[in-house]
Amino acid sequence: MTMQEITFWGLLLASSFVGMLIFGIILELSTRHSLFFTMMKLTKYFINFATVLVIPLALFFPESKPLLWNLSLYAVFILMCIRPLHDLFPRLRLIRLISLRKNLGIFSATIVVVFGVQHYIGLGLAAFLTEYFSLAAWHDLFFGRIGELTGAILLLTSNKLSIRLLKRNWKRVQRLSYVYFFSGAWYVFSSFHKLFGLVSIVIVAQLTLFAFIKKNTAVRFTHTVTRSFVSLGIILLLVFSSVGALKIDKALRVRTSLEKQLLQEKALVDEEQATVDSLQQETKQLREQTTATREGKL
């Protein structure tokens, strides 16, 4: 799939979503349902529709893999921000968005699991056992493996049957979403050098920390000035963290550039060595031919 085709499908999905919103507005005017309720319902349908498209895109359009990986990270990032933002700023009434977390989580985990299963099926059973259970593979792709495992667990338990079977333990299992997010975001940053992976970790960690402090301490952010200072502190932390992330990303890019340069130099050395070996082989053949010619004359 080329970038133009990906853009086409993206615009098609966006236009379909806009059409669904228009339909929802008409439905709201005719049935007197709340507009927010209708939009939330349509958003869930849209996310579910996008989830269904993951499998055909992964199977028939492998070029869409980077796009789907990015969408997976964006979805779980939004998911992780909803709850702490509601705890910090209850007047925003973000509690109404919590119902979207399940749909966003299923969408994100589906992408990870589908690509993981596709990769391991392509390897074959023997290669899968060798790669997946080898210490070297886990050492190199530790956070990626953790993201796959936690994503599969969260995907398998995102249903009513799991809620009935696990009961109180279901919420404990769902806390793996933190492990899933942080491991996946770090893997995206460390392996693909995407700055958003690190920035998303910083943002979610800070929001979660502030929300935890607010809920579990005697501090009450009731005064407007206090809330303003808290908001300013969050903004400053995000700015400084983003600057630090930019520096880290720059260092990683320099390192990657040096590694590529070393690989290119090694390739040139190998090519020169191959040329020398070829010349030596030709010289040897010429000597053998000369010797054979002399012996024939004698």
pLDDT tens, 54-100? 888 888 887 788 888 888 999 999 999 988 888 887 777 777 788 88
On whether residue 225 sits in a domain, the answer given is no
How is 260-277 classified by DSSP, letter by letter? HHHHHHHHHHHHHHHHHH
What confidence score (pLDDT) does residue 177 get?
92
Give the residue from 56, 51, 41 showing the smallest Cα distance to 72: 51
Average pLDDT over residues 139-167: 86
% residues pLDDT > 70 (the chain): 72
**E strand or H helix that includes residue 48:** helix 35-60
What confidence score (pLDDT) does residue 269 get?
83
On whether residue 176 sits in a domain, the answer given is yes
Indicate if the pLDDT at residue 223 is higher than 60: no
Q: Which domain holds residue 107?
A: 3-219
On whether residue 281 sits in a domain, the answer given is no
Indicate if the pLDDT at residue 225 is higher than 60: no
Indicate if the pLDDT at residue 296 is higher than 90: no
Average pLDDT over residues 4-19: 60
Average pLDDT over residues 244-252: 68
Overall domain count for the chain: 1
Largest Cα–Cα separation, the chain: 111
pTM of the model: 0.67
The residue with greater pLDDT, 179 or 250, is 179
Indicate if the pLDDT at residue 203 is higher than 90: no
Indicate if the pLDDT at residue 276 is higher than 70: yes
Per-residue b/e over 148-167, b at no fewer than 16 CB within 10 Å?
bbbbbbbbebbeeeeeeeee
- Residue entry with tokens 């492998």: 62
On whether residue 115 sits in a domain, the answer given is yes
On whether residue 251 sits in a domain, the answer given is no
Question: Which whole-number Å values give the CA distances from 24 to 16, 21, 50, in the listed order?
Answer: 12, 5, 18
Q: pLDDT tens for residues 123-152?
A: 777 777 777 777 766 766 788 888 889 999
On whether residue 247 sits in a domain, the answer given is no
Indicate if the pLDDT at residue 221 is higher than 70: no
The residue with greater pLDDT, 183 or 268, is 183
**E strand or H helix that includes residue 159:** none
Q: What angle do CA 138, 104, 231 make, to 5 degrees?
A: 95
Q: Could you give the 3-state DSSP secondary structure of residue 193?
A: coil
Average pLDDT over residues 257-276: 82
On whether residue 80 sits in a domain, the answer given is yes
What confidence score (pLDDT) does residue 224 get?
58
Q: pLDDT tens for residues 14-42?
A: 666 666 565 555 555 545 556 667 777 77
